[in-house]
Chains A and B, each alone.
Chain A
């Protein structure tokens, strides 16, 4: 972003509960999330004039949400996409604000990801009834290779061979994110787990077990971005956008599974843009959200974004390194594995709360930024969290990211 670093801020965040099922429309949930984000920022409907969302043909639109809430828009756009769209839309928002298309912009995702269209590929009640294989699906369905767990599993399997890692590497990610969920009252799965629990959980698609997979959820979540000047007048400590990438790809595009290394993922090609734009290095990062549709996607992006070397994640994740009070706490809300699946936006929201020093935990005065740091008493605020890296994942072939900075701690 260069001269745009720190010029725009995330000023409001909000979400519905994670529900299974919601028994609600995606419009109703989106309205709730946007209202909560506005209240969180101290903004009124008249203050908002931009809105974007991402979806997979499974959601409402920005225009509907704005109309329902009485928000008059100067800019709206609903894009197609899942994981890594949040960070891409943050980059997009910075461009729009800089270009003067709007002044304060909402980004939301609303999905009945459990009771409606399930990204895991099943119908709401189980295996998909007779269906058509059209378009891309012609070359996946008859191979019985139709879901993210199956696609990314192919890369994960080859990764295990090439790196010498075992599924205990994946287990370390599951254990860390679940520990954080145990400190998050909003999370669906809060009972701590062990490496052994992970190893005993049933196979979904080898090499991935049940505890390698995220929790499909009905949920909506929203964030609000505006200029630094406006941000200082609002209710929360501002969180500055230092830099980012938006759906970067490899330099020689080809179908991922015909690329030389199927697990050399897009983050490898985005990381220098990301850290170069933000003007920091990996060592400056206090906390990360590392997209955890599966434990594997977190594992491989630790390498891709340069937090450890290629093939080194198996050693890097040992000793609880990804857990709070250790070197690189990851997905402090519990992430998609344990809090609930939102296609990435909830991970950005958690980083914002951490950087404000206002993690919504069991501490009675968290809203004032006062925490006990007593994990046994349910505090999940990271001490002195100042810089967060948000590492989105679309597929092996595409990735978006953002680096955020707080002013507290």
Chain B
């Protein structure tokens, strides 16, 4: 398991477009933006629908489950919050319940609770909400929750 992330070194500043999303994480909900006019879903929560331009929006509560589409293994810390964390895996996760009929989909990123040894593209993951020492900020992490066929792993 990667080392601790010192969230006290990153002060999150919610804004007009994001405040409700951060409130969602406090209630252990992984939200994505959804258009009230056409139903399209997306993330990060840009303030307009890129299919129909509507700004009449809601939130869709995902099940917080998905598949690893890609990943990186960070070995050199850039922010001091991650000095104790390296090496850690950032995964790009394709959410299971945001696929649309025209092929549109939603991917999100997050730090895995698993080590590099365990990670592979194609594996299923689920969200785990992590309380930080700032009472108002809860951070979603992800953990591998099963096996899959046709996985791919970087082995160099």
* Cα–Cα distance between A144 and B80 once the two chains are bound (Å): 10
* Cα–Cα distance between A160 and B121 once the two chains are bound (Å): 12
- How many chain A residues have a CB neighbour from B under 8 Å? 47
Smallest Cβ distance from B6 to chain A, in angstroms?
9
Verify B42–A258 contact, CB threshold 8 A.
yes
Verify B154–A207 contact, CB threshold 8 A.
yes
Verify A127–B154 contact, CB threshold 8 A.
no
With an 8 A cutoff between CB atoms, is B34 at the interface? no
Return the chain B residue nearest A158 by Cβ. B70
Verify B50–A254 contact, CB threshold 8 A.
yes
By CB atoms of chain A within 10 A, which of B13, B74, B75, B111 has the most? B74
Return the chain B residue nearest A140 by Cβ. B109
Contacts A138-B14, A160-B154, A258-B42 given; indicate if A206 touches B8 (C-beta within 8 A). no
* Cα–Cα distance between A130 and B134 once the two chains are bound (Å): 14
Chain A proximity mask over B101-133: 1 for CB below 8 Å, otherwise 0: 001111101110000100001000000000000
Stretch at the interface among A93-101, A149-157, A312-320: A149-157
Verify B78–A130 contact, CB threshold 8 A.
no
Verify B13–A129 contact, CB threshold 8 A.
no
Verify B50–A205 contact, CB threshold 8 A.
no
Verify A130–B76 contact, CB threshold 8 A.
no
State which residues 165-210 of A face B: CB under 8 Å: 166-167, 199, 202-207
Verify A153–B72 contact, CB threshold 8 A.
yes
Verify A128–B92 contact, CB threshold 8 A.
no
Q: Which residues of A contact B7 (CB under 8 A)?
A: 142
State which residues 118-156 of B face A: CB under 8 Å: 121, 139, 152, 154, 156
Verify A204–B13 contact, CB threshold 8 A.
no
With an 8 A cutoff between CB atoms, is B71 at the interface? yes
Partner of B43, one of A134, A142, A255: A255
Verify B13–A206 contact, CB threshold 8 A.
no
Q: Which residues of A contact B13 (CB under 8 A)?
A: 132-134, 138
Verify B152–A161 contact, CB threshold 8 A.
yes
Contacts A131-B10, A142-B7, A144-B85 given; indicate if A205 touches B76 (C-beta within 8 A). yes
Contacts A127-B77, A128-B78, A204-B75 given; indicate if A262 touches B85 (C-beta within 8 A). no
With an 8 A cutoff between CB atoms, is A141 at the interface? yes
Verify B78–A157 contact, CB threshold 8 A.
no
State which residues 307-359 of A face B: CB under 8 Å: none
* Cα–Cα distance between A255 and B106 once the two chains are bound (Å): 9
With an 8 A cutoff between CB atoms, is A80 at the interface? no
With an 8 A cutoff between CB atoms, is B38 at the interface? no
Verify A150–B79 contact, CB threshold 8 A.
no
Verify B90–A150 contact, CB threshold 8 A.
yes
* Cα–Cα distance between A405 and B8 once the two chains are bound (Å): 54
* Cα–Cα distance between A195 and B103 once the two chains are bound (Å): 40
Q: Which residues of B contact A203 (CB under 8 A)?
A: 73, 75-76
Q: Which residues of A contact B (CB under 8 A)?
A: 120-122, 127-136, 138-147, 150, 153-155, 157-158, 160-161, 166-167, 199, 202-207, 253-255, 257-258, 260, 262
Query: A157-B72, A203-B73 are known contacts; what are 14 more A-B pairs with Cβ within 8 Å?
Result: A127-B77, A130-B80, A139-B44, A140-B109, A143-B110, A143-B111, A150-B72, A203-B75, A205-B73, A206-B73, A206-B75, A254-B50, A258-B104, A258-B107
Can you report 30 residue pairs joining A to B where beta carbons are below 8 Å apart? A127-B79, A127-B83, A130-B9, A131-B11, A132-B12, A138-B13, A138-B44, A139-B44, A141-B12, A141-B79, A145-B90, A145-B109, A146-B78, A150-B78, A153-B72, A154-B72, A154-B92, A155-B70, A157-B154, A158-B70, A158-B92, A206-B73, A206-B154, A207-B154, A254-B50, A255-B43, A255-B46, A257-B109, A258-B105, A258-B107
Q: Which residues of B contact A (CB under 8 A)?
A: 5, 7-15, 18, 22, 42-44, 46, 50, 69-83, 85, 88, 90, 92, 103-107, 109-111, 116, 121, 139, 152, 154, 156
